[in-house]
């Protein structure tokens, strides 16, 4: 299991466990929440099933994690309506039934736990009487203790309302490469032959000119028309997008390669031309580039490789899109990207 945890790639706002984790008691509350987001994929097909008596099949473990996540998300709501409480109670009943079925035989007390009893029979009535549970369950105070007391951090008072983020200009990270249009083909070939480059970046360089031609053609321009102009291409390791989201395409980020996955909201007028997840398509960033042309505003583009659903019959796994990479590549304008998924 630890090896699987180590393989989870870097992801926006997700704790990375590059060294695994030694013991659950050493985790902070925020690390627990990060584990909850990925644990169902870690336990999926973790071990082979057996015909031994009372053996818990692997698919039952993944099922109980799925039911737990649904229940937990419903329990974290700030405001409840009658239908929300009904859905929460139903999800609690589903999870508890399976939990007891799987683990009661292994418990000396037959799962006679006060917290389990309270959760099953009293939490929804408490919400009806007192409101959202985050204000009065022990999880709040356990989270604060693990996140702040144990780390000896100083907590200052803050407003309960989140301050709206102001859009900021694109801010690039380290510049990796710079070349001009006159030697673009030779330079790209040199980079593709570099043994230290990851396959994602090599693929980005391989598709760069083809995608640039297609991008300019969309605006009724040709790359050949600009060959006499001094055009510079700059490749960066990352960029901070509007509203502060960070997008990266880097061979070495904390000693590991990172190529961000992004979600792109498609044009509503073209939505039926694509296979999407409620109007959203997904891609992996291979190159982050700035193209500087004389007398024109720089172009801020990302070269991406698109994903598609792996199966039209079963497009989702545990309610997440089950995707695979396609052979479709495009340059897209970074200024149109607001947030990463």
Q: List the pLDDT tens digit at each of the 341 positions of the chain.
A: 777 877 776 666 677 777 776 666 677 777 777 787 788 888 888 888 888 888 888 889 999 988 988 898 888 888 888 888 999 999 999 999 999 999 998 889 999 999 899 889 988 888 888 888 765 555 544 444 444 444 433 333 333 334 344 445 688 999 999 998 888 899 999 999 999 899 999 999 999 999 998 888 876 666 656 555 678 999 999 998 877 788 899 988 877 888 998 888 877 666 566 677 888 888 999 999 998 877 678 889 999 999 999 888 888 888 788 889 999 999 998 877 755 55
Q: Is 196 exposed, middle or buried (0-12, 13-18, 19+ CB in 10 A)?
A: exposed
How large is the C-alpha radius of gyration of the chain?
25
Run of H or E residues at 309: strand 299-309
Give the three-state DSSP class for 200.
helix
* The two structure tokens encoding residue 17: 């466990």
Q: What is d(CA 302, CA 337) in angstroms, rounded to the nearest whole number?
A: 10
DSSP string covering 136-154, please? TSHHHHHHHIIIIITTTPP
Do 15 and 30 contact (CB within 8 A), yes or no? yes
Return the closest-CA partner of residue 285 out of 303, 301, 300, 299. 303
Run of H or E residues at 232: strand 231-236
Q: How far apart, in Å, do the first and last CA atoms of the chain sit?
A: 25
Predicted local distance difference test score (pLDDT) of residue 285: 94
Buried b (16+ CB within 10 A) or exposed e, 32-47: bebbeebbbbbbbeee
| Residue 161: count of CB within 10 angstroms of its CB | 6
Report which DSSP code applies to 165: P
Report which DSSP code applies to 294: T
Report which DSSP code applies to 263: E
Give the three-state DSSP class for 267.
coil
Residues 6+ apart with CB under 8 A from 267: none
Predicted local distance difference test score (pLDDT) of residue 340: 57
Question: Which residue is listed with tokens 């939505």?
Answer: 271
Return the closest-CA partner of residue 306 out of 192, 220, 203. 203
Q: What is d(CA 111, CA 109) in angstroms, rounded to the nearest whole number?
A: 5
Predicted local distance difference test score (pLDDT) of residue 177: 93
């Amino acid at each position: 299991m630890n090896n699987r945890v180590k393989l989870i790639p870097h992801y926006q706002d997700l704790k990375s466990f590059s060294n695994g984790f030694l013991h659950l008691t050493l985790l902070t509350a925020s690390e627990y929440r990060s584990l909850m987001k990925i644990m169902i994929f870690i336990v999926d097909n973790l071990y082979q099933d057996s015909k031994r008596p009372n053996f818990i099949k692997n698919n039952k473990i993944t099922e109980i994690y799925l039911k737990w996540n649904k229940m937990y998300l419903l329990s974290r709501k700030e405001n409840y309506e009658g239908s929300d409480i009904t859905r929460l109670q139903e999800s609690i009943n589903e999870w508890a039934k399976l939990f007891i079925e799987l683990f009661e035989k292994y418990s000396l007390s037959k799962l006679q736990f006060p917290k389990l009893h309270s959760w099953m029979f009293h939490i929804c009535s408490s919400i009806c009487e007192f409101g959202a549970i985050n204000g009065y369950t022990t999880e709040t105070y356990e989270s604060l203790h693990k996140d702040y007391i144990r780390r000896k951090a100083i907590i200052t008072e803050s407003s309960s309302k989140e301050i709206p983020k102001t859009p900021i200009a694109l801010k690039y990270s380290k510049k990796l490469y710079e070349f001009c249009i006159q030697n673009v083909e030779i330079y790209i070939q040199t980079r593709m032959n570099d043994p230290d480059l990851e396959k994602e970046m090599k693929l980005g360089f391989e598709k760069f000119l083809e995608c640039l031609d297609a991008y300019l053609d969309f605006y009724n321009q040709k790359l050949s028309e600009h060959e006499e102009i001094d055009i510079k291409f700059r490749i960066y390791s990352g960029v901070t997008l509007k509203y502060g989201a960070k997008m990266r395409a880097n061979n070495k980020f904390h000693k590991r390669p990172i190529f961000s996955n992004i979600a792109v909201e498609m044009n509503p007028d073209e939505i039926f031309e694509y296979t999407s997840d409620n109007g959203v398509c997904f891609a992996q960033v291979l190159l982050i580039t700035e193209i500087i042309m004389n007398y024109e505003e720089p172009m801020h583009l990302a070269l991406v490789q698109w994903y598609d659903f792996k199966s039209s019959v079963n497009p989702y796994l545990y309610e997440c899109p089950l995707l695979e990479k396609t052979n479709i590549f495009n340059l897209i304008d970074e200024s149109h990207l607001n947030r990463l998924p």
